[in-house]
Amino acid sequence: MKFTTERLEIRPFTEKDLHATFQMYRKPEVCRYLLHEPWTSENMNEAFAKKLTNSTLTETGTLNLAVVHQDEVIGDLTVWYTGMKETVEIGYCFSDSHSGKGYATEAVKGLLEKLFHEFNLHRIQANLDARNVASQKLCERIGMRKEAHFLKDYWNKNEWTDSMVYGILHEEFYK
């Protein structure tokens, strides 16, 4: 999958994206609400290799896409099927050095449009750490609705955390 928005190119990762992707994922503040720890020089090649191989969305395979602005990777979009008919979950991460410019909103909204249009989906959802207020606001800006707030339901990084589920249906996106 490949597409462009007004300011961004969204495409599969390539080998040349390793350095910029490492610069994003090496920061503890960027990885705070993610399921993995910050990347290190010891594990970056293995972690990045997964992004290179996840270039197609299938019923059993994850899709990772690089968000590129002016030839630099500034974000990462991830999509996978949930196991429910015509339903996918999305994840996203963006470089803190590019925050506050609307790139995340532009990229994720473009992703929703592409997914609904090309994959005949019924529903797209996002499951996030409830402390991640920026992610909540992003979901709301692109038209997703908060469907659930689970209390201490997820064990991650040696603590129980609350999670939230946001969702949007095909017919809601195209209102």
Name residues whose C-beta falls within 8 Å of residue 93's C-beta, 6 or more positions apart in sequence. Answer: 24, 25, 30, 34, 75, 76
Helix (H) or strand (E) holding 27: none
β-pair partners for 81? 88
pLDDT of residue 99: 86
| Residue 174 pLDDT class (50, 70, 90 cuts) | confident
149-159 burial by CB neighbour count: b if 16+ within 10 A, else e?
Answer: eeeeeeeeeee
pLDDT at 175 over 80: no
| Residue 68 pLDDT class (50, 70, 90 cuts) | very high
| Residue 139 pLDDT class (50, 70, 90 cuts) | very high
Task: Tell me the three-class secondary structure of 90-142, residue by residue.
Answer: EEEEECHHHCCCCHHHHHHHHHHHHHHHHHCCCEEEEEEECCCHHHHHHHHHC
Which two three-digit tokens encode residue 139?
A: 């979901």
Whole-structure pTM value: 0.93
| Residue 11 pLDDT class (50, 70, 90 cuts) | very high
| Residue 167 pLDDT class (50, 70, 90 cuts) | very high
Which two three-digit tokens encode residue 78?
A: 């991830």
pLDDT at 25 over 90: yes
- DSSP state, residue 33: T
| Residue 123 pLDDT class (50, 70, 90 cuts) | very high
C-beta of residue 123 within 8 angstroms of C-beta of residue 168: yes
Residue 72 one-letter amino acid: E
pLDDT of residue 97: 87
Span 77-118, pLDDT tens digits: 999 999 999 999 999 999 988 888 999 999 999 999 999 999
* CA 32 to chain centroid: 14
Quote the percentage of the chain above a pLDDT of 70.
Answer: 100
